[in-house]
Amino acid sequence: MKIIGLSGSLRRHSYNSGLLRAAAAAMPEGAVLEIATIRGIPLYDGDLEEAEGIPAAVAALKDAIAGADGLLIATPEYNHGIPGVFKNALDWASRPPEDQARVFAGKPVALIGATPGGGGTLLGQTSWLPTLRWLGTDMWNGGKLIVSGATKAFDGEGNLTDAAITARLTRFLADFVASIGSR
């Protein structure tokens, strides 16, 4: 089983990218997490789409999501919501509209996130729900992974170092993968 992991941060030592790296190492037997990127995706511009079509970085992301059994979104929370660069990437991935179903329809999706703040990424994760519903994904609600106080759980390179959070992540992934396998 292949899951695509997508971090909503472009920062080199991002906690959310680190959370995805830890998830790749913690996948249950028989499952693999491939980490995709939103780096290189331009701001959505309908004129650009009309003139040049879908950018190569967007086409690669769309194909990765479409070819996976599930999608794991590691979202930061910016100003109590979705990071603009991350929303932009999924807006592009839904273009053209007639291709949206190939990429997203029925795709099992789970949300995780890490932030230095005390509220974790609860509001950021919640902000994703209308978009993911609109795209036709199958939101997995069997678990929650919100990492608050990330400065204590990750090292300076953005690597997860907290054993308790690693254990929670491992259980979360096992449950998500099992839910996909039982479909």
Q: Look up the domain containing 84 and give its range.
A: 2-181
pLDDT of residue 119: 87
- Calpha distance 112→5 (Å, rounded): 10
Average pLDDT rounded to a whole number, residues 172-181: 98
Residues 16/74, Cβ–Cβ less than 8 Å: yes
Per-residue confidence band for 182, with pLDDT thresholds at 50, 70 and 90:
very high
Residues 144/107, Cβ–Cβ less than 8 Å: no
pLDDT of residue 22: 98
What pTM value is reported for the model? 0.97
Neighbours of 7 (CB within 10 A): 30
Per-residue confidence band for 32, with pLDDT thresholds at 50, 70 and 90:
very high
Q: What is the dihedral of CA 79, 163, 181, 71, to 10 degrees?
A: 30
pLDDT of residue 21: 98
Q: The tokens 């979202």 sit on which residue?
A: 75
Number of domains in the chain: 1
Give the three-state DSSP class for 145: strand
pLDDT of residue 183: 87
pLDDT exceeding 90 applies to what percent of the chain? 97
Which CATH number does the domain housing residue 29 bear?
A: 3.40.50.360
Q: What pLDDT, in 10s, does the model give residues 131-143? A: 999 999 999 999 9
